[in-house]
Chains A and B, each alone.
Chain A
Amino acid sequence: GESVGLHLPTLSVQEGDNSIINCAYSNSASDYFIWYKQESGKGPQFIIDIRSNMDKRQGQRVTVLLNKTVKHLSLQIAATQPGDSAVYFCAENANTNAGKSTFGDGTTLTVKP
């Protein structure tokens, strides 16, 4: 069967390594997914998004993967840097209920120098 990454509340990585943060979403009608980064004392900031007609999208050092079959989303950060230390949230929306946004519990990423 297919292997799906577990959601972990905390993740610690060495500087320069790649990070993978996982998220399971709940609503099979969700068709828009976003990853946000929240630094201490600030509001969440948009990192990357993906719509349900795609299964992969790449940005600068970040990649989002979407597996609709098992309702799973992951964020990959390449060559993780100390400035990447933050809490990362996934969020899901459905165009059929466009105003509602549901956020995951968040993963705290710590990058060790």
Chain B
Amino acid sequence: EAQVTQNPRYLITVTGKKLTVTCSQNMNHEYMSWYRQDPGLGLRQIYYSMNVEVTDKGDVPEGYKVSRKEKRNFPLILESPSPNQTSLYFCASSPKVGILNQPQHFGDGTRLSIL
């Protein structure tokens, strides 16, 4: 089954303790992206990757890191989490057809609580 898989689905942790949210897709998609979703603010893009070893900042990259060493994986790293990073996080992927954008496939989300 074609899917985007995020782990963990839920995490409660404390300020300053480094954490990684993994994201993996099995559709051979070039493009991957991370979003956070907060009440009243919709989805905001954190980082995206056009292909392996190519990453770029979205609208809210502060406090996050990403890497894209392999096509299928795009982990989101919080080096020193803070309470304002408490949110619902989504990973997404899409194919690329030339320069044309395509719809994104989303994972089911990771709910992070930073105390």
Contact = CB atoms under 8 A, between A and B. Distances in A.
Interface of A: 32, 34, 36, 41-46, 49, 51, 89, 91, 93, 95, 98-106
B105 interface: yes
22 contacts: A32-B100, A32-B101, A43-B4, A43-B108, A43-B109, A44-B43, A44-B92, A49-B103, A93-B101, A95-B101, A99-B31, A99-B48, A99-B49, A99-B50, A99-B56, A100-B48, A100-B58, A100-B59, A101-B48, A101-B104, A104-B42, A105-B40
Interface secondary structure of A, over-half rule: strand
Contacts, number: 65
B66 to A, nearest CB: 12
A46 B59 CA distance: 22
Contacts of B41: 105
Contact of A103 (B42, B96, B105): B42
A95 B31 CA distance: 13
B44 interface: yes
Nearest to B48: A99
Contact of B101 (A43, A98, A102): A98
Given A41-B108, A43-B109, A103 B103 contact: no
